[in-house]
Amino acid sequence: MQAAIVGLGLMGGSLALDLRLHGLAQKIVGFDRNPKHCKEALELSLVDAIVDFEELKRSDVIFLAIPVEGIIATLAKLTDTSEETTIIDLGSTKEKIVASCPANLRPRFVAAHPMTGTEFSGPQAAKPGLYHDKIVVLCNTEANAPAHKERAENIFTAIGMQIVYMDAAEHDLHAAYISHLPHAISYALANSVLGQEDPKSILILAAGGFRDMSRLAKSNPTMWTDIFKQNKKNLLSSIEVFKKELRRAHTLIQEERWEELRAWMEEATKLHQIL
Lowest pLDDT segment from 102-111, 194-203, 250-259: 194-203
Q: What is the mean pLDDT of residues 79-86?
A: 96
Tell whether 136 and 200 lie within a shared domain.
Answer: no
Structure confidence at residue 14 (pLDDT): 97
Binning pLDDT at 50, 70 and 90, where does residue 205 land? confident
Domain count, the chain: 2
Among 144, 166, 188, identify where a domain stops: 166
Structure confidence at residue 3 (pLDDT): 97
Among 166, 193, 209, identify where a domain stops: 166
Furthest-apart CA atoms within the chain: distance in Å? 67
Tell whether 106 and 18 lie within a shared domain.
Answer: yes
Among 166, 182, 202, identify where a domain stops: 166
Tell whether 25 and 136 lie within a shared domain.
Answer: yes
Lowest pLDDT segment from 59-63, 126-130, 200-204: 200-204
Residue range 140-194, pLDDT digits in tens? 999 999 999 999 999 999 999 999 999 999 999 999 999 999 999 999 999 988 8
What is the CA 256 to chain-centroid distance, rounded? 41
Domain limits at 90? 2-166
Q: What is the mean pLDDT of residues 209-230?
A: 90
Residue range 243-271, pLDDT digits in tens? 999 999 999 999 999 999 999 999 999 88
Tell whether 114 and 179 lie within a shared domain.
Answer: no
Tell whether 136 and 33 lie within a shared domain.
Answer: yes
Q: Is the pTM of this model over 0.85?
A: yes
Structure confidence at residue 258 (pLDDT): 96
CATH code assigned at 31: 3.40.50.720
- Mean pLDDT over the full length of the chain: 94
Concatenate the DSSP letters of all residues of 195-253 into one string. TTS-HHHHHHH--HHHHHHHGGGGS-HHHHHHHHHHTHHHHHHHHHHHHHHHHHHHHHH
Tell whether 146 and 80 lie within a shared domain.
Answer: yes
Tell whether 177 and 131 lie within a shared domain.
Answer: no
What is the CA 108 to chain-centroid distance, rounded? 21
Q: What is the mean pLDDT of residues 215-244?
A: 94
Tell whether 143 and 219 lie within a shared domain.
Answer: no
Instruction: Report whether pLDDT(273) > 90.
Output: no
